[in-house]
A and B are shown apart, each in its own frame.
Chain A
């Protein structure tokens, strides 16, 4: 019982039994008159502890004159909470004195009996935490660890693939490779390089998001009895893919001369999560072919005559981008459905082909345009997508010169970080490999990690300084 801490009821500021004050009460932060008393008693010397003469007390009272003798201690925040704060702080003077001079601290008292190695410190630190804190810390650790595990192991791949989680296995990328080739047309190193880069680009993308990738051999073969149908293989390829991946829902056709510029964007977030916002049903929104829409024939049902079909996203089975000249099948999406079976079945027809194959330079593309124009059932299940969403063009792909070049509707924009580049028509007078190479490098540069950016930034700055000094 440290009576020294209780205010004296007496006006003179005396103590009932002053000799009972204890040593350990003298922690910092108090300005009790006790100090003066102790000083006094030490100075007094002869009287020894425990003897308080009236004179002593009197003298001490005089000394602290001016201070009220009660209720004034520990008024400041720090002085009130000092102990709590200091005891909750980690302590780092880990019993560094190893000699036996402080005998009573060996193995007792302060909890730092260990040698001071890291694990011991950790243990004491954890030991000194409260139970609840410990549980919380554990939870955070587990969380961080599981996130790291998720991304470093194939776990995230399987998550993204699973049809009930990421849904990646519902998408198939169909890549047309090995065009030409064979005996007819030897491939040079550039063609091989294009193919290698393009395939690697898609393979990585598919792996990242858990999609299926089907690389189709498009080399010219005599597949059909009559050579008419040669290179109308898009249809057959799509149908085979649908058979090969019976669980997949969407099939994304890609020409070889394409490059996915933003592999960190999934197809779902690019197109499908907000399908109704990303596509448009009414071709009048952008209509380079001047197709009359909606159909005017009076015998058609209201849905066929509506400019946007039945307005349900569930009825969209074909998503086509339109470039400056009309439909573009360099990158398009097809959904597995009864409608799609019919489309793939009807797409190539000998009677239509016989009449039109001289005109239909772009084969399936022209045939699709014809069907869209002539057969209302096509329109109710077709949607269009802004070209740059899945099919940006480089300079020159739209027959453009410097005047028309940066057209917001067609051309790749680095600032907007367009998703995919289709170097359409590069084999006619443009440099396919050069374009592919440049876009690959650009994509790599745009998608550097923060650490790489930091490093590159430093090296660039270094180079600048170095150059300046040289010159």
Chain B
């Protein structure tokens, strides 16, 4: 039998050897080690990625890009056919003056623009607001204001005055019967300012849709569409859209949770004292924001334009004074 002899070690080893760790076989070994490590890491990251995919849904809501020059507030006015041109010009002047001070815009719509079928013309308010929302697709607030109202005190923006969340929280009337005097449905008492999409006032007869503020969003679309349902329009509510509003607010909590009642004089002070509407609490005082002639539209013995004229005149003098000062 012949066995191979082990190879002899060389008698003259090289003076500097690589550290014993590195040798062709060791290198192969560590390479293999690295490879297994790599495989393990790859598998682990694959599992992690898999779980990540399952748990994290893509952020659906990207911050909407609001183009420059978008007004923060649009003042929506729905004009009925009886309004004279002169009066219309005054309304426009009043509103545009206020809007231009704060970079707001105005929006006018005519009742006859909308097909309401047999329903009263006042229902046009709702499609008009939606139309304004379509035309100003990035604006946050829409203030629907009756044509028989004047902005008397333009010293504060609408947002400062009402809609800023902190301000709104201080204004909100909590735990108040939605429909006076004794509806079992009360406004919520736990709402925060940023949760509010709909701001409205209330007098002794009920909710006042003549001056209300809506915030854009899915909720606003939902709210306006529900309110405008043809079966409500055909129901012959005594006060048309106003009663329909009271109805949906009381029956549907998803609407009530976005609603804030604020003191009536904040955005809807009455020009005349009416005991049926709440008496002196609703009547305009010196520095109030808005003056509105209440109830004149449906009363044939009254004339809205004539009632509003002195208020326009008061505003006009203030306006002229301010602007003459501004010129010097």
Contact = CB atoms under 8 A, between A and B. Distances in A.
Contact of B235 (A165, A314, A355, A380): A355
A375 B235 contact: no
Interface string A353-375: 00110000000000000110011
B127 interface: yes
B221 A164 contact: no
Contacts of B127: 297, 299
A104 B56 CA distance: 70
Nearest to B53: A164
Interface string B1-19: 0100000000000000000
A397 B137 CA distance: 46
A376 B225 contact: yes
A377 B130 CA distance: 12
Contact of B60 (A314, A338, A341, A342): A314
Interface stretch (A57-65, A344-352, A450-458): A344-352
A45 interface: no
Contact of A374 (B60, B131, B229, B252): B229
A375 B227 CA distance: 9
A377 B225 contact: yes
Contact of A349 (B60, B137, B222, B252): B252
B254 A298 contact: no
Contact of A164 (B54, B114, B219, B251): B54
Contact of A341 (B51, B137, B228, B254): B254
A158 interface: no
A304 interface: yes
Interface residues of A, number: 34
Counting chain B residues whose Cβ lies within 8 A of the other chain, the interface size class is 20 to 34
A339 to B, nearest CB: 7
A349 B134 contact: no
A298 B135 CA distance: 11
B46 to A, nearest CB: 14
Given A1-B2, A349-B252, A375-B226, A299 B130 contact: yes
Contacts of B231: 351-352, 355-356, 370, 374
A302 interface: yes
Contacts of B279: none
Contacts of A375: 225-226, 228-229
Interface in B116-139: 127-128, 130-131, 133-134, 137
A413 B128 CA distance: 50
A300 interface: yes
Interface in B227-278: 228-232, 234-235, 244, 247-248, 251-255
B222 A302 contact: no
Interface string A1-16: 1000000000000000
Given A300-B130, A342-B222, A377-B226, 17 more contacts: A163-B54, A164-B54, A164-B55, A165-B51, A297-B127, A299-B131, A301-B134, A301-B137, A342-B219, A345-B254, A355-B231, A371-B229, A374-B225, A374-B229, A375-B228, A375-B229, A378-B225
9 contacts: A1-B2, A164-B54, A164-B55, A301-B221, A349-B252, A352-B229, A352-B231, A355-B235, A356-B231
